[in-house]
Amino acid sequence: MKVHNYIFSAVIPLFFIFIISCSKEGDPISYVKFGDVSVNGFKSKFKEEGLLEAVNIQDEDYDSITYFYLDGDPNLKTTLWENPDGYEFDNFYSAKLNFGSDSIMFFDKKIFRPGKGEISEFKLNRIINLYKKWYGEPNLSFLNSMHHSEISKVIALYEKSQQKSLKGKLANSISARSGKNYFIIWELEMYNVMISYRSNFADSSFNNGFIKYEALNYDKIIDQKKEDIRANASLNDYIYMNLNLNTFTQGQPPFTDRLNLYIYSLRHNLPEESRNIRKFKFDVMFEDEYGDLILKINDIDFDPDSPLKSPIDGLIFTKSGGYTIFMDFNKTHEKYKDFEKLRKLRERKISNGNFDDIKIKYKVTSLIFEDGEVLK
């Protein structure tokens, strides 16, 4: 059952492809023609209406923050992200409005998280009630331990829970403190809307609250974008790793010397590819500070102890620890002079404290997925 009816004006402004005016009631975003209006047109129109404000900030990750005021109310300020799922489009297909407070997290550095902080219960109730006023009762309302921001994935999660005879619990009342993610979804004729937030069991607080809008068939639009990226990806796009040149050691007879290459921070780096990577080959190039090639080693066949997991769901799986690959050589090796030149340069750079002057680059030449397909 649809919970929202649409009355479209017969006159469509060609510039913005909008059918919106100040006299219309309800959610102003409901009058946007998803997929036809440009992102810039979307932002410009709402800026003119006084619903959107761009604020310049001084942060290394953000030049500015765009605020959107629900119902034109400054007390219902949200942070707007257009087409927020990691892919750029000229036109407007999706929006995410984070309605928490601005917050800061500390990992290796300070991270500014606009709109992702704590939410007052009063503001949360106001937003839920506002959307019920605009759209009626939701089609789906449940909680789950899993977190997704794409509406199609949340609906699939709900359907899976029903297949397992797990009843979706209503999120109309926020008095329960379950420490889980709440999802409230309206399935509409031209687009879908979802309110999601996190209820924390430990301190009875709410955070990570957002409102998500998606055009119909948004998942298919994203899938096509992923297919285009896979079709144009280089082999290096699949693999991320850091390489370090360790101390040269004694080789295994009949070789006299050994180059030791250390691999760390290794991971599958293409979220558009859902398959895990079982093994791969690569070339490694050592350059001096001028970018001049010192030594190139071809076709290193690397088989990690377990497949590199795809980051398809936004989860990055970096292999813990590291791996050492060695190449034995002696005076009869065709590249002996290059090995020795690299060894002496390393020793000199180490003694001078500027080891970073040695540049290590790699080029993936082929890889094998878990299903056995070889990509070259």
pLDDT at residue 101, rounded to an integer: 86
Which range has the top average pLDDT, 11-20, 188-197, 318-327? 188-197
Distance (Å, whole) CA 96 – CA 104: 19
Check whether residue 175 and residue 41 sit in a common domain.
yes
The reply to whether 10 falls in a domain is: no
Reported as a pLDDT band with limits 50, 70 and 90, residue 102 is confident
Q: Are residues 271 and 318 in the same domain?
A: yes
346 in any annotated domain: yes
Task: Quote the pLDDT of residue 24.
Answer: 58
Question: What pLDDT score was predicted for residue 110?
Answer: 60
In this prediction, residues 35-50 reach a mean pLDDT of 94
> Residue 338 carries which side chain, given as an amino acid letter?
D
pTM for the whole thing?
A: 0.76
Packing angle, helices 218-232 and 151-163, rounded to 10 = 110
Which residues make beta-bridge pairs with 95? 82, 213
Residue 307: what pLDDT? 94
Are residue 183 and residue 282 in the same domain, yes or no? Answer: no
Torsion region of 238: left, alpha or beta (phi above 0 gives left; psi -120 to 50 gives alpha): alpha
**Range in 20-24, 82-86, 102-106, 161-165 with the lowest mean pLDDT:** 20-24
Task: Decide if 23 is inside a domain.
Answer: no
> pLDDT at position 59, please?
61
Residue keyed to tokens 């007052």: 120
Please give the structure tokens belonging to residue 177. Answer: 């403190």
* Percent of the chain whose predicted confidence (pLDDT) is above 90: 65
Residues 211 and 262 in one domain: no
Q: pLDDT tens for residues 15-26? A: 333 433 334 589
pLDDT of 281 above 80: yes
Q: What are phi and psi of 154, to 5 degrees?
A: -70, -40
| Highest mean pLDDT (candidates 21-35, 43-57, 91-105, 254-268) | 254-268
Mark whether 156 and 242 lie in a shared domain. Answer: no
Q: What's the mean pLDDT in 70-81?
A: 94
With respect to residue 20, please indicate whether it lies within any of the assigned structural domains: no
CA 223, 218, 53, 111 torsion-angle sign: negative
Q: Which of 179-193, 285-299, 351-365 has the lowest mean pLDDT?
A: 351-365
Contact 194, 151 (CB under 8 A): yes
How many distinct structural domains can be found in the chain? 2
Among 179-183, 249-253, 285-289, 357-361, name the one with the lowest average pLDDT. 179-183
Whether 185 and 36 map to the same domain: the answer is yes
In which residue are the tokens 């001084």 written? 58
- Domain annotation covers residue 11: no
The answer to the question of residue 22 being in a domain is no
Per the structure, the complete domain to which residue 147 belongs is given by 28-223
256 and 188 share a domain?
Answer: no
254, part of any domain: yes
Asked if residue 205 and residue 90 are part of one domain, the reply reads yes
Q: Is residue 21 part of a domain?
A: no
13-27, 191-205, 260-274, 300-314, range with greatest mean pLDDT: 260-274
Per-residue pLDDT, 15: 37
244/10 Cα distance (integer angstroms): 65
Q: Which two tokens stand for residue 356?
A: 């970073």
* pLDDT at residue 339, as a whole number: 97
pLDDT in the model for residue 105: 61
Angstrom distance (rounded) from CA 53 to CA 66: 6
**Residue 169: pLDDT above 80?**
no
**For residue 322, is pLDDT > 70?**
yes
Considering Cα of 217, then 219, then 225, then 226, what sign does the dihedral take? negative
Average pLDDT over residues 123-145: 94
**Does 213 lie in the same domain as 120?**
yes
The answer on 338 and 240 residing in a single domain is yes
> Does 84 have pLDDT greater than 60?
yes
Does one domain contain both 77 and 205? yes
- 249-284 per-residue burial string, b: 16 or more CB within 10 A, e: under 16: eebeeeeebbbebebeebbbbbbbbebbbbebbbeb
Residue 164 in this model has a pLDDT that exceeds 50:
yes
78-92, 177-191, 231-245, range with the lowest pLDDT: 177-191
Torsion 123-129-133-136 (CA) sign: positive
Final residue of a structural domain among 223, 257, 281:
223
The mean pLDDT value for 56-85 works out to 86
User: pLDDT at residue 168 above 80?
Assistant: no
pLDDT given for residue 5 in this prediction: 36
pLDDT at 242 over 60: yes
The residue from 173, 203, 223 where one domain ends is 223
237 shares a domain with 120: no
Q: Mark which of 202, 223, 244 sits at the end of a domain.
A: 223
What per-residue confidence (pLDDT) applies to 291?
93
- Cβ atoms of 264 and 242 closer than 8 Å: yes
> Does 76 have pLDDT greater than 70?
yes
Question: Sorting pLDDT into bands at 50, 70 and 90, what band is 103?
Answer: confident
Q: Sorting pLDDT into bands at 50, 70 and 90, what band is 310?
A: very high
